Amino acid sequence: MSSQDALILDGLTKRYGDFTAVRDVSLRVPEGSIYGFLGPNGAGKTTTIRMVLDIVKPTSGTLSVLGQPTAMAVRERIGYLPEEKGLYKKMKAWAVIAYFARLKGVSGKEAKQRAHELLERYGLGAFADKKVETLSKGMGQKVQVLASIAHKPDLVILDEPFSGLDPSNQQVMEDVISDLNKAGSTIIFSTHVMSHAERICDRILLIAKAEMVFDGTIEQAKALIPRLVRIGGVEASRLRSLPGVGDVMPSEESPGVFEVVVADGHDPQEILRACMREGIELSSFESGEPTLHDVFLHLVGDDAKVAAYR
Amino acid sequence: MNNAIHIATREYAENARTKGFWINMLMFPIILLLSVKVPKLLEEKAKPVRQFALVDQSGLLGDIVRDAVERDYARLVMEKIGTYAQTYAKDKAAVSAETLEKTAMPSDFAGRVKEFMDYNEELMQQMMSPEAIEMQLSMIKPSLVEDAPEFEMPRRRYDEVDLSGLTGADLDLATAEPSEIVRALRPALVDDERLEGMEQPLFALIVIPPDAFEQILDPSIGNMANAPEPQDGIQFWSTNLTDMALSNLIERALDRELQKREYVANGLDPKQVSLIRSTTFQFSAFDPKKKEGEEAVSVADTMRKWAPVGFVYLLWVAIFTVVSFLLNNTVEEKSNRIIEVLLSSATPWEIMVGKLLGIAGVGLTMMTAWVLSLLGVLKFIAGPEVEWAGALFEVIQSSGLLPLFALYFVCGYLTYAGIFLAIGSLCNTVKEAQNFMGTATVILMVPLFTMVFVAQDPNGALATFLTWVPVYTPFVMMNRAAADPPMAELLGTGALMLVTIVFMLWLSSRIFRIGVLRTGQPPKIVELVKSLMTPLNHQ
């Protein structure tokens, strides 16, 4: 076991009776990284997180959290934001943050001070003395995020931190994550929105139907799917004759445009140069990076939809 | 364990801030205060002067009724003079616990004296004359404080309405059938219309038929068979069926008059008879458990015997008030999913202990407030009308019931807190929790239903049986506290209760662990037992 890994999962499995929620998940989260748990709803992300936090016991498999076999032993170094958000409605915003910090071993005075600092820094200074029930949903969620990190945890686990936030608050959330990461924390968060993961994750775990589908960097993930260029104004047969061109399919969205798979070992520039050399007049040439969303659909495909409706 | 303390502190602070807590805490002293003051206020101010109409066709009994009403007022005036004298006395002759210890329980002697007075109209009338009252007041004057206000004559309780000319020319009250009189006055009685000059409905109508002396009930054998019909006798008409004071007053006075005549007819002197009737033996109760020479059952003994009933009630209210706080909090944490954050910061055991301690603190605060306000009301506010109140408190204090009360509160709380915490952890809304408890509530009410019976027979079969039911032990033991239950029973049931508490807390912590992360409907009992048998890593 490397001390460089904040979290190591080995063959982690959770069964509820006949139902398997998580099957044989193994991974390493390096210290100081931002790690995304991606997958459709019901894939097993939350169960995995609960096992990591020692809230539910794994049926089999082992784990190491900050070098310890259970999270309870290092709970003061872990911050957790659950998927379903909720706070004590009758407490004041600062008091909620301070309370959860105290449970993580921060002294009373320090906890109060940090609560006020955090509220100030993330634009909620004016609401510090307001009761939670009077805050808007978004503000309440921000307070809860702050409550989960006020003790300066080494490992932060955020379950769906972006859900329910408007775009500007989603940006604040991204800022919180990158601030924490800069301060040296390891961050694990789950989401089913790929764009967030793509922007801020170093590594991702893709999980579907209780099983892990992929674990690695974003580049590695994108390399999994063939690169596509979209070319317009030319016959499919001529395209096929060009070097570096793999499959050619007519685009479903725009007639006259073909989606061309770039063959292994080639890149889109090569195809463009070949077109120029051959004197082919193109009406359009689009070469986009594949998004994580494409990777997701490619790897999970129809399962995602099935899972989403369950 | 630090976390348990943090959780306890938060629970305490949050609950101590709720309206419910303050309402519960203040309700008791307020009710106490009201129950001391309001009946008196109502008696003096709110209860209207009852106005009644009297139709006497016998020509003999009307004045008897009027005299009785006068005597009733006379007694009221004397009572008020007594209260007045006590309220403004320079040296208040406070009743101490010691006097209560020595005062034997009164027999019905006071009632006999009253009856004797009723037969002695002259004596009563003498005391009632304005001069007599003036004299009484001047006699007590020297013992009153300087700034005592003037004595105010109390309001009359009953007033007779003058019917002459009110019922119309076509009705001659002296000869009309009772039914006709009732028909004429029914609108006034049911308040359809008011009699002239009256601001309130007619409270009662009394009709005495001309042959009233023939319509009597005589218990001698043979006469009961041809008892007169109700409508042939004296009639008391009123829509108010609960305030029987006036009808009792009149009935007693009329019967007395009848009996007086019977005495005379049989050659007896009614005064002599009343004196004889008021003569009694000295008959006293003794308790063999008391110290030799002081075995007479005193007022204090009687108070001590009944005080536990009050404590059982307080105990019951206090325990179920605070455990319902516990239930609500747990349901809130569960439905808000705060519990997940807590579980990532503390073990389920720490969370449970923290909640139990925090709410126990709330309960103890409330009880302390109750006991203090009981002391306050009894000692400082109650006044002369409940002069025994301070003494009652001293008796309670000296009886050793208070420490027992605290002990049984803790035991009872721990027994029920676990159950309610477990129920809370299984439910998503308070409503669900209430449904879940369902008939359980009836079972919990048993100590309340039985508290009077247990006090009457504190070492009897019912008391003994209930003591051995662990969930009732704290209440029933409190109930029996004054009766020195057998030591073996005390220890046995105490041990059983402790085992139960430990088992309940252990079981609740298991249920709590499973319950808090469950979503959806509360489980069926079978499901619950099944999941309790499953090891944690398969749940």
Residue B55 contacts residue B181 (beta carbons within 8 Å): yes
Inter-CA distances, B441 with A148, B447, B475, Å: 40, 12, 15
Instruction: Supply φ then ψ for residue B387, to 5 degrees.
Output: -65, -20
Domain membership of residue B269 (yes or no) is yes
Q: Does A3 have pLDDT greater than 60?
A: no
> Percent of chain A beyond pLDDT 70?
96
Please give the tally of structural domains in chain B: 2
Query: For residue A93, is pLDDT > 90?
Result: yes
Same domain, B269 and B375: no
In this structure, the answer to whether residues B114 and B12 fall within a common structural domain is no
Nearest-by-CA chain B residue for A47: B517
Q: In the structure encoding, which two tokens stand for residue A180, read together?
A: 């924490």
Same domain, B166 and B56: yes
B495 and B346 co-located in one domain: yes
Q: Does A15 touch chain B (CB under 8 A)?
A: yes
Domain end residue (candidates: B219, B245, B277): B277
Instruction: Give the C-alpha separation, B53 to B65, whole Å.
Output: 11
For residue A75, list chain B residues with Cβ-Cβ distance below 8 A: 344-346
Which residues does chain B have within 8 Å of residue A85's beta carbon, measured at their own beta carbons? 337
- Taking the Cβ of residue A58 and every Cβ of chain B, the question of whether any pair is shorter than 8 Å is answered with yes
Q: Cα separation of A213 and A39, whole Å?
A: 9
Could you give the 3-state DSSP secondary structure of residue B86?
helix
Q: Are residues B235 and B343 in the same domain?
A: no
- The residues, ordered by sequence, that sit 6+ positions from B412 with a Cβ below 8 Å of its Cβ are B315, B319, B474, B475
Is residue A57 within 8 angstroms of chain B, CB to CB? Answer: yes
- Which residue of B lies nearest to A158 if distances are taken between CA atoms? B341
Contacts of A180 (CB under 8 A, 6+ apart): A149, A156, A187
Contact A99 B537 (CB under 8 A): no
Inter-residue contact B209 to B232 (CB < 8 Å): yes
Q: Does domain A5-216 have CATH number 3.40.50.300?
A: yes
**Cβ of A111 under 8 Å from any chain B Cβ?**
no
Instruction: Indicate if B515 and B436 belong to the same structural domain.
Output: yes
Domain boundary among B221, B242, B277: B277
Alpha-carbon distance of B399 to B379, in angstroms, equals 17
Q: Find the residue in B nearest to A59 (Cα).
A: B537
pLDDT tens string, chain B, 539 residues long: the values are: 688 899 999 889 888 887 878 887 888 778 877 877 777 677 666 667 888 999 999 888 998 999 889 888 888 888 888 778 877 777 665 556 666 666 666 555 556 666 666 666 667 667 777 788 888 888 888 888 888 888 888 888 898 888 876 655 567 777 888 888 888 888 888 888 777 777 778 899 999 999 888 888 877 766 666 778 888 889 999 988 888 889 999 998 899 889 889 899 999 988 888 788 778 788 888 888 777 777 777 777 777 778 888 888 888 888 888 888 888 888 888 887 888 888 888 888 889 899 999 999 988 888 888 878 777 776 666 555 555 666 666 777 777 788 888 888 899 999 888 888 888 888 888 788 877 777 677 888 888 888 888 888 888 888 889 999 988 999 998 888 877 788 888 889 989 999 999 998 888 888 888 887 776 666 777 777 777 776 666 55
Residue where a domain stops, chosen among B277, B308, B323: B277
Q: Does B338 reside within a domain?
A: yes
> Are residues B256 and B175 located together in one domain of the fold?
yes
What residues in B contact A82, CB-CB < 8 Å?
A: 337, 340-341, 344
User: For A45-60, what is the mean pLDDT?
Assistant: 89
Rounding to the nearest 10 degrees, give the CA dihedral for residues A245, A246, A248, A254.
Answer: -70
Higher-confidence residue of A310 and B73: namely B73
A75 part of contact set with chain B, CB < 8 Å: yes
- Do residues B156 and B73 lie in contact, with contact meaning Cβ atoms separated by under 8 Å? yes
As a whole number of angstroms, the distance between CA A192 and CA A195 comes to: 9
Closest by CA position to B206, among listed B175, B185, B226: B185
Q: B199 lies in which domain range?
A: 49-93+106-277
Tell me, yes or no, whether B392 lies in a domain: yes
Count Cα neighbours of B85 within 13 Å in the Cβ-side half-sphere.
16
B248/B163 same-domain check: yes
Interchain pair B344, A56: CB under 8 A: no
In chain B, whose CA is at the least distance from the CA of A75?
B345
CB contact under 8 A, B337 and A82: yes
Q: Do A103 and B345 touch (CB under 8 A)?
A: yes
Q: Does residue B392 sit in the same domain as residue B443?
A: yes
Q: Residue B169: what pLDDT?
A: 54
Nearest to A30 by CA among A181, A243, A159, A169: A181
In a domain, B287, yes or no: no
- B256 lies in the same domain as B308: no
Residues B477 and B454 in one domain: yes
Tell me whether A85 touches chain B (CB under 8 Å): yes
Residues of A in contact with B537 (CB under 8 A): 57-60
In the prediction, which pLDDT does A305 show?
Answer: 46
A103, B338: Cβ pair inside 8 Å? no
Check whether domain A226-289 has CATH 3.40.50.300, yes or no: no
Asked whether residue B43 is assigned to any structural domain, the reply reads no
Q: Could you give the CA distance from residue B109 to residue B111 in angstroms, rounded to a whole number?
A: 5
Q: Which residue of B has its CA nearest to A101?
A: B345
- Do residue B366 and residue B466 come from a single domain? yes
Q: How many helices and strands (H and E) does chain A possess?
A: 11, 13
Distance from CA of A50 to the nearest CA of B (A): 9
Q: Do A16 and B342 count as a contact with CB atoms less than 8 A apart?
A: no
CB contact under 8 A, A15 and B538: yes
The model's pLDDT over A107-144, given as tens digits with 9 standing for 90+, comes to 989 999 999 999 999 888 999 999 998 998 888 888 99
Q: Which region holds residue B510: left if phi is over 0, alpha if psi is between -120 and 50, else beta?
A: alpha
The one-letter code for the residue type at A295 is: V
Query: Which position has the higher pLDDT, A177 or B146?
Result: A177
Flag whether residue A20 sits within 8 Å of chain B, measured between CB atoms.
no
Distance CA B534, CA B539 (A): 7
B99 falls within a domain: no
Q: A103 — contact with chain B (CB < 8 Å)? A: yes
For residue B38, being part of any structural domain is answered with no
Instruction: Give the 3-state secondary structure of residue B364.
Output: helix
For chain A, give every residue range classified as CATH 3.30.70.100: 226-289
CB A176 within 8 A of CB A149: yes
Q: CA-to-CA distance for B102 and B446, rounded, in angstroms?
A: 36
On whether residue B520 sits in a domain, the answer given is: yes
**Residue from A63, A103, A135 whose CB has the most chain B CBs within 10 Å, to mutate:** A103
